[in-house]
Amino acid sequence: MKVELDKTYGPLINGVLETGGKEFCFAAVDPATGNNLAYIRYCTESDVDRAVAAAQNAFPAWRNLGQQQRARLINLLADEIERNSERLAIIDALDVGRCVSEVRKDYLTAVRHYRYFASVVMAYEDSGREIEGGYAIARREPLGVCGQIIPWNAPAIMAAFKLAPALVAGNTVVLKPDENATLSTLELAKLINKIFPAGVMNMVTGLGEVVGAALSEHPLVRKLSFTGSTEVGRIIAGVAAKRLVPSTLELGGKSANIVFPDIEDIDAVIDNATFAAIHNNGQSCLAGTRLFVHADIADVFSEKLIASFRRVKIGSPLAEDSRVSCLVNARQGERVLDYIKLGQEEGAELLVGGARAVVAGCEHGYFIQPTILLARNEMRICQEEIFGPVLSLIIWDDYETMIAQANGTEYGLASGIYTSNLKHAMETASRLEAGSVWINRYSNITDGTAFGGYKNSGIGREFCREALNAYTQIKTITVQAELPDIWFSPL
């Protein structure tokens, strides 16, 4: 399927998709080929101000529209995304460099996410109780204008995680996509603009240090939501604290994936552990990048794991049989290669991969061979987020030491366990300091399951009913059936 793109794109503000001359734009570049796909406008602080003003003006009517009508529009958006998912997936593959077969699954997840929130909001009821002589009501009300900032690694899912709960709860939005992956989100804006009233959802494009900063600091923004690096998350959290507005942060990870010696189907575990480490080209905050394998099975497991990594097909993002494609840009590619070199300097043993691959017709791209380093948990490659197809293999034989090491990072986003022993599974799950623990299937995220991290992996939860709480605030209304007896100022 060949996709046609606009020559230039600009922000969506108050129902108008704006464009601009190339002199005020940056190029969206295909990371595999180096071809310019389109030009995208650099927004300014004044553009952010206009977008926030539009969202503020649209808020009263959108809030008063009611849950049922808002849910209906969210479902219409899900239908539109589903109809356009193939085109959007190809745009993402071109813009970000991910395998198109993988991106298609992102759009299935995104569509489910919109429909989930359109459904669950209908059961999102106010609560109340009787009090002496009356009744107390606790109402959930939207916050107002929400500023949302998303990363480049999975645009479809990231936009759905932010937009669905915020909009269905009655808030209006100003969304900033990452400058490395803007095109599919701007094409999503076209679909949104066909369905939603002007100003309900606005989008601003450009640099984080300009547009993201202006959005975070805007006095009319009543809620901040950010997905990205822990370093930037700290900045967002600081701004939110200074302004006394709530924030939701989904940040980095260095997830432990633990293999017990009692596993029954070693080949299935090998396949899932391979997927856990290198899906999305390893550019995933939840990737299982630290694999703890018990010493009793380490030799046979390592041999099979190396073979699995060697079998992974490296190819063009648009090739249907590709399982690893190119990283998002040259800077990220060099960063990953530097970490592989650093690991070896620290004493890690390179078991497979470790170099840049060349793909015919995509020579511009940074295709990194799926890489395994036999490492120790205290090494930097086991402590810092690499964001590439690089797995640290750690051998363990003492349970308490392994648990301490699994928890021994600043992060706590996700984790995995492979075992046929229920006691091992549940005891280990309870002791892991991670927001998600997946037993016998890594990245087993289903509709309505909370997603978010412990420690420096973030604040708050997404993909679940709890997200509606994050986009609303409680108002308490007490109704007294009759006035109390006179006592304060008796006649």
| 397: helix, strand or coil | coil
Measure the N-to-C terminal CA separation of the chain; round to a whole number of Å: 85
Say if residues 306 and 371 touch (Cβ distance below 8 Å). no
CA angle (464 as vertex; 195, 135 as ends), nearest 5: 95
| 79: helix, strand or coil | helix
DSSP class per residue in 224-287: EEEES-HHHHHHHHHHHHHHT--EEEE-----EEEE-TT-S-HHHHHHHHHHHHHGGGG--TT-
99 included as an active-site residue: no
Enumerate helices (H) and strands (E) in the chain, giving the number of each: 15, 25
Catalytic residue among 80, 102, 187, 250: 250
Catalytic residue among 146, 285, 326, 382: 285
Residue 121 DSSP code: G
Say if residues 405 and 396 touch (Cβ distance below 8 Å). yes
Q: Per residue in 355-365, is it b (16+ CB within 10 Å) or e — as a string?
A: ebbebeebeeb
DSSP class per residue in 399-418: HHHHHHHHT-SSEESEEEEE
The maximal CA–CA distance of the chain, rounded, in angstroms, is: 95
326 included as an active-site residue: no
| Beta bridge pairs of residue 17 | 12
Query: Residue 312: which H helix or E strand, with range?
Result: none
CA neighbours closer than 13 Å in the CB half-sphere of residue 55:
32
| Beta bridge pairs of residue 26 | 40
Q: What is the 3-state secondary structure (H, E, C) of 21-33?
A: CHHHEEEEECCCC
How far apart are the C-alpha atoms of 171 and 192, rounded to whole Å?
15
Query: Residue 342: which H helix or E strand, with range?
Result: helix 330-345
The single residue listed with the structure tokens 């080209």 is 281
Residues annotated as part of the active site: 250, 285
